[in-house]
Amino acid sequence: MVRNFYRQFFFLFALLLLWTSCSINPFSNNRNEELYGELGFKVLSSSQEKRPQWISHPHKYSEGKGRLYFSYEIDPKPTQAMACAMARAYIKQDLAQLVNLFFLKGNEDKVWHEEVFNVAYDHWQSFFQKAQLENTYWEKRLYPSFEEEGEQSSVCAIRVSVAESEFLSQVKTLQRKVKSKIKQLQIRLPKNEKVENIFDGEGFLLFYKMNY
């Protein structure tokens, strides 16, 4: 009987240890929220005390007159240096895509869409390559992982600017490129349809300033 008592005692003790270990697991759901908050990570260090508003609204929170401001934030990378280098490298692709989508939206089914898209995309990548770097912001974060100390990663956001007058000038240059490309491909367009007319620089400026 004594032997059975000890068996039951040790069995209950083992269950208690198992329950306790699960309840204090630093990466259980409840503990994650306590350590990392609703966002799922903890900021260990950053280049500024507060996350700047220009990341979400690059043009709205700018003081420069006659310039367009754009921002781009890279996904988490192993190091801060890598994150910021990749942000600077990829922003021109992101902005070329943004501008192209504005101008060409609704024309995806046109016979000329792919060729014109490629011409315009290359044009804008080249243009934004020369954009002026205005701001850089980085964060070093701690994410949950199977390791007790968590997993560290860094994100980086940058803001660049271009002169509005230069942007409008580039739109006109692109119009000529597109017109030449259509002629080269010998694409027959419906009467009164001019592909180059879809590149409305003033329309983009109005749209961008209202939304960004």
Q: Mean pLDDT of all residues in the chain? A: 84
What's the predicted TM-score (pTM) here?
0.77
User: For residues 102 and 208, what is the distance between their CA atoms, to the nearest angstrom?
Assistant: 10
One-letter-per-residue 3-state SS of 40-108: CCEEEEECCCCCCHHHCCCCCCCCCCCEEEEEEEEEEECCHHHHHHHHHHHHHHHHHHHHHHHHHCCCC
Residue 35's pLDDT band (cuts 50, 70, 90): low
For residue range 103-134, list pLDDT tens digits in order: 999 999 998 999 999 999 999 999 999 999 99
User: For residues 36 and 68, what is the distance between their CA atoms, to the nearest angstrom?
Assistant: 36
For residue range 163-200, list pLDDT tens digits in order: 999 999 999 999 999 999 998 888 888 777 888 899 99
Is residue 92 over pLDDT 70? yes
Task: Provide the pairing of β-strand 67-77 with 42-46.
Answer: unpaired
Q: Which residues contact 181 (CB under 8 A, 6 or more apart)?
A: 115, 116, 119
